[in-house]
Amino acid sequence: QKTIDQIAAGEVIERPSSVVKELVENSIDAGATAVTVEIRDGGTSFIRVTDNGSGIDRDQVAVAFLRHSTSKIRVVEDLFHVASLGFRGEALSSIASIAMVELITKTRDADAGVRYVIEGGAEKKLEDMAAPDGTTFLVRSLFYNTPARRKFLKSPMTEAGYISDLMERLALSRPDISFQFINNGQTKLHTSGNHNLKDVIYHIYGREIAANLAEIDAEQGPVRITGFIGKPAVSRGNRGFENYFINGRYIKSNVIARGIEEGYRTFMMQHKYPFTALHFTIDGGLLDVNVHPTKMELRFSNQEQLYRFVRETVHQGLMGREL
Ligand code: ADP
Ligand code: MG
């Protein structure tokens, strides 16, 4: 079982940012309104994720670390029908098999919290402990027992950069949640969770971009697009500033990217690529994803229609604005 978990871990956990992604998505699924992520040394020596979500019942703590253990949905096809980000029940078992993990959690109803320690997949401790409502995960010495994996890691600075990018995307995906990111003792990101996407954009990208946005709000059939697009004055040299989320999930889609870029083309000044932070709400029945755990690719049942709608929405959004 240990070896199987380690192999599975290779699929789910490629690097420290994968750990952060899985843990924060669990916090979001647990209904947290505030999530704090703290890392040291690019996350290789230390990752701590604290949330104020539902917590885990004492008798469910050990169970949560079993492979394919999920309290969420069971059918992959349901991925986009449900609100939860996790669905495979593989993350915790994977992480625990390749690191030293400590969990402190308390549900609202429980009198006391629980502390659970699991190292390399081996359970070390389960004890009562005073704790606030919510959950804290501590992940130390990532890949300590899988040296081959460790070799593929980049420098701590680069790994921390991946986590920082991830935190920014998460903050943009959920303006209703307060995210804090602390790297080597320094706060790098702290959003308010006041539901205001523009505030998050300002916080991450600064005044110049925030002052040059066109607001988008369009609906066509099963698709709604809301959010912001940067005016040509703040166009960019690459796709790195095109953020878009589908049903709260960060995703890459060539169809959407092309729609954005084509809709933008007429207005282009210097660069081909706009800044965007767009939220798509799409009926789950019309979506399909590549279910490889780390690659989330979108397939939409009517690609051409989606492409046109994105293109027109971006075009209209920028038309008649002061450019
Ligand atoms: P999945 O997210 O696919 O269900 P995970 O391995 O990520 O699988 O988590 C296993 C289970 O542990 C979850 O289904 C959930 O019940 C519980 N869990 C994990 N993290 C948290 C958290 N931060 N707060 C509450 N419950 C959690
Ligand atoms: Mg999960």
All structural domains of the chain:
2-190 (3.30.565.10), 206-318 (3.30.230.10)
The response to whether residue 107 sits with its C-beta less than 6 Å from ligand 1 reads: no
pLDDT digits (tens, 9 = 90+) for 291-300: 555 556 667 7
Global pTM reads: 0.92
**Integer Cα distance of 247 and 85 in angstroms:** 10
**Integer Cα distance of 281 and 224 in angstroms:** 5
pLDDT at 248: 87
Residue 1 banded pLDDT, cuts 50, 70, 90: low
The Cβ of residue 286 has, within 10 Å, a number of other Cβ atoms equal to 16
pLDDT at 146: 93
More confident residue, 287 or 139: 139
For residue 87, give the ligand 1 atom closest to its CA: 3
**Integer Cα distance of 174 and 171 in angstroms:** 5
**Residues pairing with 172 in the sheet:** none
Residue 279 banded pLDDT, cuts 50, 70, 90: very high
For residue 84, give the ligand 1 atom closest to its CA: 2
pLDDT at 117: 98
CB 261 within 8 A of CB 272: yes
**Residues pairing with 230 in the sheet:** 213
**Integer Cα distance of 178 and 200 in angstroms:** 10
Burial class, 130, CB count within 10 angstroms (exposed 0-12 / middle 13-18 / buried 19+): exposed
User: Residues of the chain with pLDDT > 90: what percent?
Assistant: 73
Burial class, 60, CB count within 10 angstroms (exposed 0-12 / middle 13-18 / buried 19+): middle
pLDDT digits (tens, 9 = 90+) for 240-266: 999 999 888 888 888 999 999 999 988
The response to whether residue 94 sits with its C-beta less than 6 Å from ligand 1 reads: no
Helix (H, G, I), strand (E, B) or coil at 82: coil
- For residue 317, report the distance from its CA to the centre of ligand 1, in Å: 39
pLDDT at 75: 46
**Integer Cα distance of 215 and 229 in angstroms:** 7
Structure tokens at 39: 């890392």
- For residue 270, report the distance from its CA to the centre of ligand 2, in Å: 41
For residue 85, give the ligand 1 atom closest to its CA: 2
Residue with tokens 């229609």: 305
The response to whether residue 66 sits with its C-beta less than 6 Å from ligand 1 reads: no
The response to whether residue 212 sits with its C-beta less than 6 Å from ligand 1 reads: no
The response to whether residue 36 sits with its C-beta less than 6 Å from ligand 1 reads: no
Proximal ligand: closest to the CA of 66 = 1
The response to whether residue 134 sits with its C-beta less than 6 Å from ligand 1 reads: no
Q: What DSSP string describes 150-206?
A: HHT---HHHHHHHHHHHHHHHHHH-TTSEEEEEETTEEEEE---SS-HHHHHHHHH-
Between vectors from CA 248 to CA 164 and to CA 181, what angle results, nearest 5°? Answer: 20
pLDDT at 6: 73
